[in-house]
Structure 1
Amino acid sequence: MLSQRRLGTATLALGLVVLTDVLRVFLPSVITIFGQAASTPAELLGAFAVGWFVLALAAPVLVARVGSATVGLAAVLVLGAARLVLTAAPGGPAQLWLASAGLLAGLVWLAATAARVAYPVPGLVLGMTASALGHALLGTYDLVWWQRWPAWVASVAVVAALLAAETAFGRAAGRAVDDRPPPNRRGWLLVGPALLLGGMVALSPAVAINAMSYWYGEAGTAAPPPFALAPLGAAVPLFLLGALTPWQPRWRALPPVLLVAGALLFGYGPPTLLTVAVLAGAAGLGGCLGLTGDGASPQPTDRSGTGPAYAAVGGMLVFAVAALVYYAAYDIGYPNQWVPAVVAALTGVVAMRATGASDGQPRADPAPELPRWRLAVLAAVVALAAAWLHGPWLVSTNRPGPPEQVRLVAYNIRMGFGLDGRFDLTALDRMVGRADVVVLSEVDRGWLLNGGHDTLGLLADRLGMPYVFAPAADPLWGDAVLSRWPVQRARTRPLPAVGAPTGAQALGVTVDLGAGVRLAVVSTHLQPPPGADPVVQARAVADFATGYADGAPLVVAGDLNTEPGDPAFTAFTDAGLVDALAAARPLPTSPADDPREQIDHVLVSPDLVAADAVAVPGTASDHLPVAVTLTLPDR
């Protein structure tokens, strides 16, 4: 029985690593491929995504009729095959359907595993920890998108290990069906909420990096912060210790309180407290899972495994609904900060109910013991090693003095996903080219919906340029400026919402070109109200930009969602700014595969001379970047 329990724990951990990899492809594929660059109604998009989780509710019936070992092995074969084929990153409809098939197979496998594993907490904790640390070591750049041989080797190794563990576990479980302990349905119910809260807040390397950056100023740091993954180095051990350490009765209310506090800070707190949200969320989430494990044995016996199978799939349905409700707010427009807090509260309630059921009653057959302190130390070491591997770089312009010209690019990167739905840093790098200053819109720094990448950090690393980031929708999504020269005086100003669902801001930075020469750059992404021009926001940006520049040469750039001659565009010219792309008009930039709209712009103060304006063709985003060479005024 000890061997069987350990095999079950190992199988669950490995399976969750592979399932999480597939989820990181499925979720952005729904948005970028099925969603067709936001042209698909949000209701239809949500129905497609949730439909796969609803379909998986039939899995427990299949498990009961066919057998959990047979269903589990078949599902692992499909899940592993989908994961390996996705490593080729085909893009387009093939990627969407492969990820969907892999997700459904993963959910069926989860139901089959729930029918055989009585105590899911150890496997869940190890799987989430391994996934988080692996993502950290990769710098949040999934192996799926690498398209190089090391990615294939690593992917084949993980899938092969899962297949071997599943085969061995199926045989062991088949020989000991009658000796199984009563299942922990509450533990299985929390698999989905735990994956949501872990990926959204508590165990996300990208969120940890972004949280660390807010310690360095109002608008984030001007370079990757030192030991940016340090919060993860503390969060993962807290998560492990909370999940694997027995809780004394007087402390059992603490994990739910910490988890809800972390979720509330994430949703409602200032960005500077994002680190606290990560740490509190990790400790609370681990503690809640630990409490749930404590309450395993007294539940009614269900030797068929149907109950825990339904609990596992139902918990994943909670994951899907909560994720879509949270992120759909940025398309439809409603408050969403409450979503992680509600999921955290429900998780705490389930954990406390499990605790109450087991007080004073020892387990009939305890879950496998894990070396919690050694695991915690190992997790901290791996996270700190990742921090060292992906630490800040020294930036040098390699230029003797102030330049006479600056090449500037403004680009809406759509969170790093091209029209084919692929997360392609190489294509983004190629589109930016040898720019000196880069203004980015729709920058994602850890949204679970987009795979949990730190898109800004990854792109900045490739370009060898420091960055400044400013949040707009929430602490993880906004605008940025990258520069080959040092930047100073980062300032950000929220813009009036004017009924638009997604938040907007204006980010000002001063580029220090040397010898006292400076260039003020303002990055923004205007969000028009439904059916109207974003003129109110344009006026706010123009006022902020001219005041921020204070007489220095000024550039205002980004996705302005307005055409030349429209009221919002005129608000900038009325403020004394000049259209830097005028000589190349018409210069459509959206959609990227058939550009018809001129909505991405560069406006400059009259003392800057613009030349060589172009919209760079390509489909690395749903917009084209605009590039222009600016000649600085005589000094």
Structure 2
Amino acid sequence: MSFARTDHHVPAPLVSTAAGTLLLVDLLRVWLPSIITIFGQAASTPAELMGAFALLWFLVPFAVVPFAARWGSGRHAAKAALAGGAGLAAARFALVFVHGGQAQLYVASIGLLAGLSWLAATAVRGGPAAVGVPVGLAAGALQHAALRTVDLTWQSRWWAAPLVAAECLVFIWYQRRTAPGRTSAAAWFLVGPAMLLAGMFALSPAIATVALSYRFDPVATTPPPAVPELLLGLAVVGFLAGATGPLRGRFERVAAALTIVAAAVIFGLSHGPGGLFVALLLGCGALGWAFRAAAADTPPEPDAGRNARSGYAALAGMLVFAVAAVAYYAAYDLGYPNQWVPVAVALAPAWILLRSGTGVPATGVPWRTGLAAVAVCLLVPLIGATTTPPVERSDATGAAGADRGLRLVAYNIRMGFGLDGTFRPAAAARAIAASDPDVVVLSEVDRAWVLNGGHDDLRTLATRLGMRYWFAPAADAVWGDAVLTNLPVAAAETVRLSAVGAPTGAQALGVVVRFGGREIAVVSTHIQPPPDAEPLVQVGEIAAFATRFGGDRPTFIAGDLNIEPGDAAMRAFADAGYTDGFAAFRPVRTFPADKPVKQIDHVLVRGLTCAEVSVGTAVTSDHAPIVTTLR
């Protein structure tokens, strides 16, 4: 940041733009997973229909621009911005109380429509997008980090509703005081691409955690406390420094453009250690520079002729957000390469940087304001270290634990979302902790997907359970399977499985634990069957890996195998030496969670037996958790 020795009042347009951006980002964190879990019904709705429904809410606000730009007086734009802002604030506050089902979906959708209308009308009226939007994105990232990626919508604390209400009141108060001003079409267009890139890697608290949980091994482990929050704080400082600092020569602009594209390329190709860390560090500052370059597009005086163009630019940028998000995440259902999507989106800020023909001076942030901002960026994320108490539990890992057998919970958590589309990590943690497990095997673990709200499911559950974790990526670097335990761990290894026509990637994660004086090999996996065929290739790879990794140790394979008793795949496991641990306890139905009719979650054993089996009643996923004791 560039500090100046002057001081002044913070302009109302900056506060209203920043607050509106914060509310819109928070609302998108509810709306996006609602599309998948409620409208999409966990991929049972055709991807094309989901995409059309989602895009509809981004297209309708284009009708607001002609009204807001009418006559160029700013009066209609002010009315449209205030009405849209009121709708955005009302929906954001309502979502603290409206959880699950069609009500959640449509409150979030109407709020999105209102928020996009506010964005377009504000662009028409004119405002400091090149500074206000970065401040709003930074505030959203810091708040997300302070809440350990569990948004205020999903918090069960008493202070969640008052805090959202305060954010909404600040937004509306300053919105009413905002007067027409200069407008930058480039800055408003950048809002959508910046939201997506910031959520994917440049300002993502979950990415900061995942990046630091890898060391020199493809298996991720629990990072040191508070270090990810500090990394996120430094990323936000770099982002704001880029957005407010000087951007002088052509060389700086070209370097910034190449940096943001390089960050997107590295993120798209990352599937393990190193890449996410580099993408975060490169992306944060370069994205800020793009906003600074967009300031060069701002005329010295308000220009009525540019107003409609800015409104359309803002909505076009958000349409880029929607299309790119659908294109990136639909690949895991439809099966096409998606690494190009973040790179294509990064071309937008790169283009803005390259087209800026003149140098842009620093904004001259007062030095006291700059120091305060740096302190906030570094301290606010650390709040999360003290606001998420673990669930009370007892670890039966001594002699008594060995006598009772090893307690295992296997659970496909569906990215943390229940059948009704709500995100309830505390309830999921309670359901797991009730069984007092020694080992927890998780499938469909999402650690940073924008589509699901940017949550880090694994860290949230591990913190609440008071357990350490080992994670291996499957679809990309932040979606896969995990093992949680407080037992001593002697080794960990992962192997990728062949796709064989299945769109979503798969892996097998092996962890050796010490229990009762001996070592036991745990293999966590989530089979992705090829279309209309048995997953015999993946079964063979899992069995071979488990046999090699387990050696002469007792070994079990657990997870969502997407096969049923009697299938050829189950017989293939038996032929490889892994017997069905639940054979004596059937029926053991696990799917769907509310009324289970199928058993597709399994525990297969070699050198062990299942002494007891039970199916949990939690509906915090579409699968029910299964609990067994291994002897």
User: What is the TM-score with the length of structure 2 in the denominator?
Assistant: 0.92
Residues 438, 481 of structure 1: 8 Å contact kept? yes
Residue of structure 1 in register with 2:217 after alignment: 217
- Amino acid in the other structure paired with 1:377: V
- Please tell me whether residue 155 in structure 1 is matched to residue 156 in structure 2: no
Identity among equivalent pairs (%) = 48
- Please tell me whether residue 332 in structure 1 is matched to residue 329 in structure 2: no
From 304, 315, 318, the equivalent of 1:316 is: 318
- Amino acid in the other structure paired with 2:382: A
Q: Secondary structure at the match of 1:215?
A: coil
1:137-159 deviation per Cα after TM superposition (whole angstroms, max 9, x unaligned):
11111010113321011111111
Q: Secondary structure at the match of 2:214?
A: helix
Residue of structure 2 in register with 1:41 after alignment: 46
From 75, 100, 103, the equivalent of 1:91 is: 100
Residues 445, 456 of structure 1: 8 Å contact kept? yes
Residues 227, 384 of structure 1: 8 Å contact kept? no
From 18, 21, 25, the equivalent of 2:26 is: 21
**Superposition deviation, residue 370 in structure 1:** 6.0
Residue of structure 2 in register with 1:428 after alignment: 428
Kindly tell me: are residues 390 and 576 of structure 1, through their superposed partners in 2, closer, same or farther at Cα, counting changes over 3 Å? farther
After TM superposition, list the pairs within 5 Å mapping 1:257-406 onto structure 2. Answer: 257-273=258-274, 274-297=276-299, 301-303=303-305, 305-353=307-355, 355-356=356-357, 358=358, 369=365, 373-374=370-371, 377-382=374-379, 385-386=382-383, 388-389=385-386, 397=395, 399-401=397-399, 403-404=402-403, 405-406=405-406
- Amino acid in the other structure paired with 2:262: A
- Please tell me whether residue 469 in structure 1 is matched to residue 468 in structure 2: no
Measure, in 1, the Cα distance between the counterparts of 2:330 and 2:396.
Answer: 45
Q: Secondary structure at the match of 2:475?
A: strand
Kindly tell me: are residues 237 and 367 of structure 1, through their superposed partners in 2, closer, same or farther at Cα, counting changes over 3 Å? closer
Measure, in 1, the Cα distance between the counterparts of 2:385 and 2:151.
Answer: 19
1:495-514 deviation per Cα after TM superposition (whole angstroms, max 9, x unaligned):
01101100000000011226
Residue of structure 1 in register with 2:204 after alignment: 204
Measure, in 1, the Cα distance between the counterparts of 2:86 and 2:56.
Answer: 22
Residue of structure 1 in register with 2:613 after alignment: 613
Residue of structure 2 in register with 1:529 after alignment: 530
Where does the alignment leave 5 or more consecutive residues of structure 1 unmatched? none
- Please tell me whether residue 9 in structure 1 is matched to residue 8 in structure 2: no
Residue of structure 1 in register with 2:566 after alignment: 565
Measure, in 2, the Cα distance between the counterparts of 1:104 and 1:599.
Answer: 39
Residues 89, 145 of structure 1: 8 Å contact kept? no
| More deviation, 614-623/369-378 | 369-378
| More deviation, 615-624/447-456 | 615-624
Residues 201, 280 of structure 2: 8 Å contact kept? yes
**Superposition deviation, residue 301 in structure 1:** 3.5
Measure, in 2, the Cα distance between the counterparts of 1:556 and 1:329.
Answer: 28
Q: Secondary structure at the match of 2:525?
A: strand
Residue of structure 2 in register with 1:61 after alignment: 66
Residues 213, 225 of structure 1: 8 Å contact kept? no
**Superposition deviation, residue 430 in structure 1:** 3.2
**Superposition deviation, residue 373 in structure 1:** 4.2
Residue of structure 2 in register with 1:138 after alignment: 147
Residues 224, 392 of structure 1: 8 Å contact kept? no
Measure, in 2, the Cα distance between the counterparts of 1:383 and 1:540.
Answer: 45
Kindly tell me: are residues 446 and 8 of structure 1, through their superposed partners in 2, closer, same or farther at Cα, counting changes over 3 Å? same
Residues 185, 297 of structure 2: 8 Å contact kept? no
Kindly tell me: are residues 430 and 226 of structure 1, through their superposed partners in 2, closer, same or farther at Cα, counting changes over 3 Å? closer
Residue of structure 2 in register with 1:578 after alignment: 579
**Superposition deviation, residue 266 in structure 1:** 0.6
Residues 583, 613 of structure 1: 8 Å contact kept? no
- Please tell me whether residue 599 in structure 1 is matched to residue 614 in structure 2: no
Q: Secondary structure at the match of 1:438?
A: strand
1:511-553 deviation per Cα after TM superposition (whole angstroms, max 9, x unaligned):
12264x2211000000011111111001100000111011111
Q: Secondary structure at the match of 1:470?
A: strand
Measure, in 2, the Cα distance between the counterparts of 1:264 and 1:564.
Answer: 43
| More deviation, 26-35/387-396 | 387-396
Residue of structure 1 in register with 2:4 after alignment: none
Residue of structure 1 in register with 2:233 after alignment: 233
Measure, in 2, the Cα distance between the counterparts of 1:23 and 1:14.
Answer: 14
| More deviation, 397-406/556-565 | 397-406
- Amino acid in the other structure paired with 2:148: G
Kindly tell me: are residues 390 and 482 of structure 1, through their superposed partners in 2, closer, same or farther at Cα, counting changes over 3 Å? farther
Measure, in 2, the Cα distance between the counterparts of 1:381 and 1:452.
Answer: 20
| More deviation, 40-49/609-618 | 609-618
Residues 397, 487 of structure 2: 8 Å contact kept? no
Q: Secondary structure at the match of 2:221?
A: coil
Residues 214, 272 of structure 1: 8 Å contact kept? yes
Kindly tell me: are residues 151 and 350 of structure 1, through their superposed partners in 2, closer, same or farther at Cα, counting changes over 3 Å? same
Q: Secondary structure at the match of 1:271?
A: coil
How many pairs align? 613
1:329-377 deviation per Cα after TM superposition (whole angstroms, max 9, x unaligned):
0011000011001111222012221x12x45xx89xx978565842652
Residue of structure 1 in register with 2:439 after alignment: 437
Q: Secondary structure at the match of 2:454?
A: coil
| More deviation, 479-488/526-535 | 479-488
Residues 33, 420 of structure 1: 8 Å contact kept? yes
**Superposition deviation, residue 247 in structure 1:** 1.1
RMSD across aligned positions (CA): 2.4
- Amino acid in the other structure paired with 2:97: A
Residues 525, 560 of structure 2: 8 Å contact kept? yes
Measure, in 1, the Cα distance between the counterparts of 2:9 and 2:228.
Answer: 39
Measure, in 2, the Cα distance between the counterparts of 1:152 and 1:53.
Answer: 27
Q: Secondary structure at the match of 1:596?
A: coil
- Please tell me whether residue 538 in structure 1 is matched to residue 558 in structure 2: no
Q: Secondary structure at the match of 1:409?
A: strand
**Superposition deviation, residue 224 in structure 1:** 5.6
Q: Secondary structure at the match of 2:558?
A: strand
Kindly tell me: are residues 253 and 230 of structure 1, through their superposed partners in 2, closer, same or farther at Cα, counting changes over 3 Å? same
1:213-235 deviation per Cα after TM superposition (whole angstroms, max 9, x unaligned):
01263200156666123321321
Residues 522, 557 of structure 1: 8 Å contact kept? yes
Q: Secondary structure at the match of 1:491?
A: strand
Measure, in 2, the Cα distance between the counterparts of 1:533 and 1:609.
Answer: 26
Measure, in 2, the Cα distance between the counterparts of 1:284 and 1:386.
Answer: 27
Kindly tell me: are residues 299 and 256 of structure 1, through their superposed partners in 2, closer, same or farther at Cα, counting changes over 3 Å? farther
1:186-211 deviation per Cα after TM superposition (whole angstroms, max 9, x unaligned):
11110000001001110010111011
1:162-188 deviation per Cα after TM superposition (whole angstroms, max 9, x unaligned):
11111111xxx1xxx5xx44x211111
Kindly tell me: are residues 392 and 508 of structure 1, through their superposed partners in 2, closer, same or farther at Cα, counting changes over 3 Å? farther
Kindly tell me: are residues 300 and 333 of structure 1, through their superposed partners in 2, closer, same or farther at Cα, counting changes over 3 Å? farther
Residues 189, 314 of structure 2: 8 Å contact kept? yes
| More deviation, 339-348/586-595 | 586-595
